[in-house]
Amino acid sequence: MNAAGEGKAVYPVPGVRLAAVAAGIKKPDRLDLVVIELAAESVSAAVFTRNRFRAAPVQVAEEHLAATAPRYLLINTGSANAGTGEEGLADCRHTCASLARLGMCEPQQVLPFSTGVIGERFSVECFDRALPGALEQLDTAHWEQAAQGILTTDTVPKLASRRVRLGEQEVTITGMSKGSGMIRPDMATMLGFITTDARIAPALLREWLRELTDRSFNCISVDGDTSTNDACVLTATGQAGNPELRDADSEDARGLRAALEEVFVELAQAIVRDGEGATKFVEILVDGAGSAAEARTVAETIAHSPLVKTALFASDPNWGRILAAVGRAPVGELAIDQVNIWLGDVQIVRNGGVAPDYTEQGGARAVAETDILIRVELGRGTGTSRIWTCDFSYDYVRINAEYRT
């Protein structure tokens, strides 16, 4: 199962040029180095992994972003450059300086991103050889190549694009993401790059990125593992010429934010649909909780249960596994007799026990679908949360067992 918006329009974003080249970082003749050039007046915001073993590029990117607005994003696959100590930091700074010399900007104006095997350094010579050719190939139309160039175990590139009117101006939003395993963003291996030509005040851009990430990439899980390299960047080039958006409650701001959220959610869900070995897309909705945080805790406990995920792979309506996951979630004084659970439109648990009208045939029908909804009502408040995840198949074990071979 995979879906990444194949066949959908991908609109160039004025002020954004991209290139992808084969640098030979890990494998020959594979696109593995991506350069994104941003117009000089662009503003950017980023969020990064909270994993304590943060990769060298995460540390350097955060440092550079705090110093100045970026002109280039530099992304490599094949090596995560995580757990590589001072040498990895030096390698990362070297690649930023190399691109800065060619792009005639300061090294701090380059934000680096890496994905791949943790604990392995890359060859900076691969970057030095490939970067001149990458800059020669920069083009506004190269989104598909760039989306291909950031993949690791992904099976398809992930792109999303929208156009929306703000008064007299038409504004474009286009983004790409990568991720298939080690996915449980906490700001999975996950990278996201979303751009728009709208003019947005820096403070509003940062506010929106935090909100949109929480409603999209922070709502997905493939295997419950948070990467050392997670990052998401939102850039506004300002090329559309609209009056700068400062007030989040203005009509134009609300319209643009809604379109941005569509792109963020589409890219986040594409990661789950392309989860390593995934055959099912699973939405877990928990409501009636004492708080949103409590609802999220229950949803994540279900999403991270190997027993639930393997039952879904087998299309087995083994609802006891879902019930057990709800029961072991760290929720104080949970009233079991208030809990109701559904698989799709089939109620499997009513007031803490099997629903009297539940049938195995109905449950089997619900879990045979490619897209599955698990809904839990806790009956203790108004808190709600939604998580998107997938099943565990034989291929998940195979892919990760063979990852370094």
**Res 2 pLDDT > 60:** no
Nearest Cα to 399, choosing from 275, 225, 282?
Answer: 275
Options 174, 189, 301, 389, the catalytic residue? 189
Give the pLDDT band of residue 138 (cuts 50, 70, 90): very high
- The span from the CA of 381 to the CA of 385, in Å, is 12
pLDDT of residue 302 exceeding 60: yes
This prediction's pTM: 0.92
Task: For the beta carbon of residue 181, count every other beta carbon within 10 angstroms.
Answer: 24
What pLDDT does 397 receive?
81
Q: Is 171 left (phi over 0), alpha (psi -120 to 50) or beta?
A: beta
Whether residue 10 is contained in a domain is answered as no
* Low-confidence winner among 32-36, 186-190, 225-229, 303-307 (lowest mean pLDDT): 186-190
Q: How confident is the model at residue 7, as a pLDDT?
A: 63
| Distances in whole angstroms, Cα of residue 155 to Cα of each of 2, 4, 300 | 7, 10, 25
Per-residue model confidence (pLDDT) at position 300: 93
Residues 36 and 185 in one domain: yes
Unique residue bearing structure tokens 């390299």? 229
88 and 114 together in one domain: yes
What total number of domains does the chain contain? 2
- Please determine, for residue 355, whether its predicted confidence score (pLDDT) is greater than 90: yes
- 310 is an active site residue: no
Domain boundary among 234, 257, 273: 273
DSSP structural state of residue 330? S
Please tell me the predicted confidence (pLDDT) of residue 332: 86
pLDDT at 193 over 90: yes
Provide the pLDDT for residue 13: 98
Strand, helix or coil for residue 353: strand
pLDDT category of residue 188 using cuts at 50, 70 and 90 = very low
Mean pLDDT calculated for residue range 276-303: 95
* Boundary (domain end) residue, out of 252, 273, 294: 273
Dihedral angle of Cα 89, 34, 12, 258, to the nearest 10 degrees: -40
Asked which of 40-54, 199-213, 216-230 is least confident by mean pLDDT, the reply is 216-230
Average pLDDT value over all residues in the chain: 93
* C-alpha to C-alpha distance for 307 and 313, rounded to whole angstroms: 10
Task: Give the domain range for residue 84.
Answer: 16-273
Residues 92 and 235 in one domain: yes
Q: At 154, phi and psi to the nearest 5?
A: -60, 150
Tell me the backbone φ, ψ of residue 163, rounded to 5 degrees: -130, 140
Same-domain pairing of 114 and 202: yes
pLDDT at 77: 95
DSSP state, residue 109: G
- Distance, in Å, from the CA atom of 197 to the CA atom of 403, rounded to the nearest integer, reads 38
pLDDT over threshold 70, residue 27: yes
Which two tokens mark 10? 């991908």
Query: Among residues 352, 342, 324, which one has the least CA distance to residue 284?
Result: 342
Which pLDDT does position 155 carry in this prediction?
Answer: 85
Of 251, 273, 295, the residue that ends a domain is: 273
285 and 269 within one domain: no
pLDDT of 225: 66
What pLDDT score was predicted for residue 182?
61
Q: Are residues 388 and 341 in the same domain?
A: yes
